[in-house]
Amino acid sequence: MLLLRIPLLFCCLATAAFATPVTLPARAVSFRPEIHAWAWVETVAPLTLRMPLAARVEKLAATPGQLVAAGVPLVKLGGPQLAGELAAVWARVEAAKNELAAAEQSAASVARSYPAFANQRTLDAAQANLAAARGRLEQAQADEQALYAQTWLKSPLPATVSRFEAARGADLPAGAPLLTLLPRDALWLRAEVFTVLPTDATSVFRPVDGPAVPVRLVADLPARAANGARVANFAPLGAAGWQAGEAGEVIASGPPRPAVAVPAGALILDAGQWYVLVDGNGKLSAQRVVPGPSRGEEVLILEGLQAGVPVVVRQAYLLYHRDFAIHYTPPD
């Protein structure tokens, strides 16, 4: 007698569960589709500063990651070889000064004796010698200034110090790489996406640290990233103030489009496809849909459902599979 009551009780519970489906009409909404992608700021081309002459690295006046303006000293050069060259150019300047002083005295003496004891040819020669002495002094002073200027390696433009290629105390030949700069006015925002970005989208870059920056899509590059993603190039709208290495998220929002919203409990996943149960004059039928993003406890339906259609919102999955036992026979 007990064995008969158990199936009867199960049938009564099942019947009660499927007796009156709870439905709600699909609600018309408007939403802006969004595409989220990881992005980071890169320099278009790094700038490598090299040794202007053979010397020793005496001082590193900057650190990696430091923002520097144009003309800021970065590295001081020295060492015995550079000291010898500085002494030699200083000696040439002193010799040129002495030569100029002698030429000035000679020209003044000839000018005083002209035309009584010196002719025009002698006067012209003295003046030419004086002009040549002045030229040699100016050249020697220019060489001295240029050499002294090379004792400090300076940033040629606003940039971020990326890395140093040599340590303090290293003796390097002329032309050896010394440090790498990332120019601040030659940056681009690289984003990797797995879909096609709409050209009319409104985009913003939200770095991990810092305020959001409005950006625009410059190009969808033909080359693919190592993970197969598409590479997009973004540029700021106005002054960005960002620096190389900043990372965050690009959010591209498309134009508004219509959709319908249903409770999340109305969705049914079967064999990789999404469905909802719609109530047509008391008769339930499965309708294939394309879901979109979630809004709280609701899900947007992008395709397959019209606003106002009654949709089962409670026990939809059980009702969808209510005839499962008819089509499935367990093995003995």
Residue at token pair 């200034």 = 145
pLDDT of residue 98: 93
Residue at token pair 């849909």 = 289
Q: Which two tokens stand for residue 81?
A: 């070889």
Residue spans per domain, the chain: 18-31+257-327, 34-45+184-253, 73-154
Report the SS3 class of residue 169. Answer: coil
pLDDT of residue 19: 55
- The DSSP secondary-structure symbol of 81 reads H
* Per-residue CA distances from 126 to 82, 105, 135 (Å): 37, 10, 14
Return d(Cα 113, Cα 241) in angstroms, integer.
71
pLDDT of residue 330: 56
Q: With CA atoms as reference, report the closest residue to 243 among 69, 65, 70, 74.
A: 65
Out of 3.30.360.10, 1.20.1050.10, 1.10.10.10, 2.40.420.20, select the CATH number for domain 18-31+257-327.
2.40.420.20
Is the pTM here over 0.95, yes or no? no
Q: Is 8 left (phi over 0), alpha (psi -120 to 50) or beta?
A: alpha
Characterize the bridge pairing of strands 202-207 and 171-172: unpaired
Instruction: Provide the CB-side half-sphere exposure for 53 (13 A, CA).
Output: 19
User: Within 10 Å of residue 265's Cβ, how many Cβ atoms?
Assistant: 17
pLDDT of residue 3: 45
Which helix (H) or strand (E) is 266 found in, with range? Answer: none
Return d(Cα 319, Cα 18) in angstroms, integer.
7
Q: Which residues contact 65 (CB under 8 A, 6 or more apart)?
A: 160, 161, 245
Residues of the chain predicted below pLDDT 70: 1-19, 323-332
Determine the topology of domain 34-45+184-253 in CATH: Elongation Factor Tu (Ef-tu); domain 3 (2.40.30)
pLDDT of residue 324: 54
pLDDT of residue 57: 95
HEC states along 235-304?
Answer: EECCCCCCCCCCEEEEEEECCCEEEEEEEHHHCEEECCEEEEEEEECCEEEEEEEEEEEEECCEEEEEEC
pLDDT of residue 323: 62
Q: Which two tokens stand for residue 299?
A: 């899900």
Q: Do domains 18-31+257-327 and 34-45+184-253 have the same CATH topology?
A: no
Q: With CA atoms as reference, report the closest residue to 29 among 305, 315, 313.
A: 305
pLDDT of residue 329: 54
Return d(Cα 66, Cα 75) in angstroms, integer.
14
